Structure 1
Amino acid sequence: MPPLTTGWHAHRRHQLLYAARGALHLEVDRAQWLLPPQRAAWLRGGTLHRARANHLVTLCTVYLEPSLVPTAPQEECSVFLLPPLAREMLIYSVRWGPERAPDDTVAESFFQTLAHLLAEWSSQGQTWRLPRARTPELEKAMAYTLAHLAGPLSFEEAARAAGLSGRTLARRFDEEAQTTWRRFLHDARMLRAMELLAQDGARVTQTAYDVGFESLAAFTHAFHAFSGERPRDFRQRVAQGAPRPAPPLRPTRRKRAE
């Protein structure tokens, strides 16, 4: 699909949304996510949402009847990393369109299995998301910040764009978004870096400059702390369509006997 922006909408059925190629921005009432390849979103039926893609994107969407998902996640939206099996099942599911025969037993078995596995996959939801504003002023500050990730940016500039004093803007971030402006800026830069690195021909050094870093070493350190991967490894994995490696197991500490 070409670059797109949808309006706010909802579906009666549950939805699994997967960007097989490119990156998709997804928003619900209180949060927004980036969906680069290898990450999918679960949207509970009836959840208002909208999506945006700044570049070419290949989407795969599966809709599930609520009666088919007895253990559906309680969250209105959950974003999670796709295990290899999940990715293959979502891609394979496109062989059946919305007008498939109701007596197709193979399709029924396939989607029942997919629905049962959904609870396990979505339970590993990631916290890589940005909050959304509840007032027009904070929305202006967030929009200004997101539009100036590449250059030097100050808190005072964001406050002026919102028409607020610095003290008021800081309070709005704390009360509405439960975060600080600086944390919002940092996380937005990291998510933007993921989006850029998911594109064909992406270069790590250029990506670092495009999200406001003057030092490649500082960018690599920040990206690794945020995602658990070095940007070069992330770029290569996404290009190859490989799953994210599991984090190393931490040794358990034995309690000292009293």
Structure 2
Amino acid sequence: MPKALVDVDAVPASAFCLTDELTPFASGWHAHRRHQLLYAARGALHLEVAHAQWLLPPQRAAWLAGGTRHRVRAAQPATLCTVYLEPSRVPVAPEGECRVFVLPPLAREMLHYSTRWGPERAPRDAVAESFFSALAHLLAEWAAEPREWRLPRARTPELERAMTYTLARLAGSATLAGAAKAAGLSERTLARRFEDEAGTSWRRFLHDARMLRAMELLAEDGARVTQTAYTVGFESLAAFTHAFTDFTGERPRDFRQRVARGVTLPPRAARTTRRKRGG
């Protein structure tokens, strides 16, 4: 990630866009004084903060408040498009240290357009200043309906080992007994630790991890729904389609086609889809 060597807090301009073509990579834990709007124009990014982790395919972005420790990785090539803003440039910041949300079409177009102003831009460029002011004013509105498509992070070594075991076996071989053995705990103790420490059950963690992995796979060029279903541990396409639709609000084939076309699904449309299904 060569352009990540830029000291974003030392750039003279108060707002700018940083772009990069990423090969598979993993950053270390870090934080910026500036606010950040993290986005992948192509591919998918994995974002982690202290207690949660998210997948960011092209239809979603993440707001990271200044000072938030985080790390990012990409399992496949991705195009980074991230905007940094001085806190003074954001009149009403989204609540919380991190919010992941669906990008409306206007937001996507504005992020693409922002790439013309990189870290080297003139600090007093009047057009750039006006553009980033408009972007900053719209952030709170865009992030007002965050999506809980995330996984919890472990806070203890035992749960981290159990999660690592589970995430490495999404194709179907993961079991509670195996996760407990990896953690060095009994099954009952592990189940209780998941509830107490991660706020979820082990089975729900496995299910959500499979759905997020499916979303990542379906965002890749040439993705096939049937192969994706088997790769994330489902024995039938029908069962996978039902689970994916319940999780995301749209069928996997529709999701794949939409991501390939670069079309976003507004949050209200997703909720309407779920209501029609009775969810």
- The residue aligned with 1:171 is 192
Match among 254, 260, 264 for residue 239 of structure 1: 260
SS in 2 for 1:95: coil
- The answer to whether the aligner puts 1:16 opposite 2:41 as a matched pair is no
What is the alpha-carbon distance in structure 2 between the residues aligned to residue 5 and residue 205 of structure 1? 29
Q: Measure, in 1, the Cα distance between the counterparts of 2:96 and 2:248.
A: 22
Aligned ranges 1:1-258 → 2 under 5 Å: 1-245=22-266, 246-247=269-270, 248=272
| Distance in 2 between residues matched to 1:53 and 1:162, nearest whole Å | 26
AA in 1 matched with 2:171:
A
Partner secondary structure for residue 62 of structure 1: strand
Q: What letter is aligned with 1:103? A: R
CA-based RMSD of the aligned residues comes to 1.2
What one-letter code is carried by the residue in structure 2 that aligns with 1:59?
Answer: L
What TM-score, normalized by structure 1, do the two folds share? Answer: 0.95
CA deviations 1:189-208 (Å, max 9, x no partner) are 00000000000000000000
Q: CA deviation at 1:244?
A: 1.1
Q: Distance in 2 between matches of 1:21 and 1:102?
A: 28
- Asked whether the equivalents of residues 48 and 72 of structure 2 are also in contact (C-alpha less than 8 Å), the reply is yes
Aligned-residue sequence identity (percent) comes to: 76
Distance across 2 between alignment mates of 1:103 and 1:180: 52
Q: Deviations over 1:57-81 (max 9, x none)?
A: 1110100010011210121100011
Q: 1: CA distance between counterparts of 2:238 and 2:196?
A: 34
1: distance between equivalents of 2:28 and 2:173?
Answer: 31
What is the one-letter code of the residue matched to 2:195? D
Deviation sequence 1:70-117 (CA, Å, 0-9, x none): 210121100011111100101110101112212211111000000000
Question: Can you list the C-alpha shifts for 1:229-253, whole angstroms capped at 9, x where unaligned?
Answer: 00000000000001115143979xx
Query: Distance between the aligned counterparts of 2:155 and 2:254, measured in 1?
Result: 36
| In 2, Cα distance between equivalents of 1:75 and 1:41 | 12
Cα deviations across residues 96-142 of structure 1 (Å, max 9, x unaligned)?
11122122111110000000000000111101100001000000000
Runs of 4+ in 1 over 6 A off after TM superposition: none
Give distance in 2, aligned partners of 1:193 and 1:165: 30
- Structure 1, unmatched stretches of 5+, are 252-258
Q: Provide the rounded CA distance (Å) in 2 between the counterparts of 1:121 and 1:104.
A: 25
Q: Distance in 2 between matches of 1:102 and 1:52?
A: 30
Query: What's the TM-score once normalised by structure 2's chain length?
Result: 0.88
Unaligned runs of at least 5 residues, structure 2: 1-21
SS in 2 for 1:242: coil
Q: Distance in 1 between matches of 2:50 and 2:174?
A: 27
Q: How many angstroms apart in 2 are the aligned matches of 1:36 and 1:97? A: 22
Secondary structure of 1:12's counterpart equals: coil
Checking the alignment, whether the CA contact within 8 Å between 2:36 and 2:64 is kept in structure 1 is: yes
- Counterparts of 2:73 and 2:196 in 1: how far apart (Å)? 27
Matched length: 251
Partner SS, residue 115 of structure 2: helix
For the residues of structure 2 that align with 1:152 and 1:163, how far apart are their CA atoms? 18
Contact 2:39/2:61 (CA < 8 Å) preserved in 1?
A: yes
Amino acid at match of 2:53: Q
Contact kept, 8 Å, 2:89 with 2:136, in 1: the verdict is yes
CA deviation after TM superposition for structure 1 residue 171, in Å = 1.3
Q: Is the 8 A contact 2:165 2:174 kept in 1?
A: no
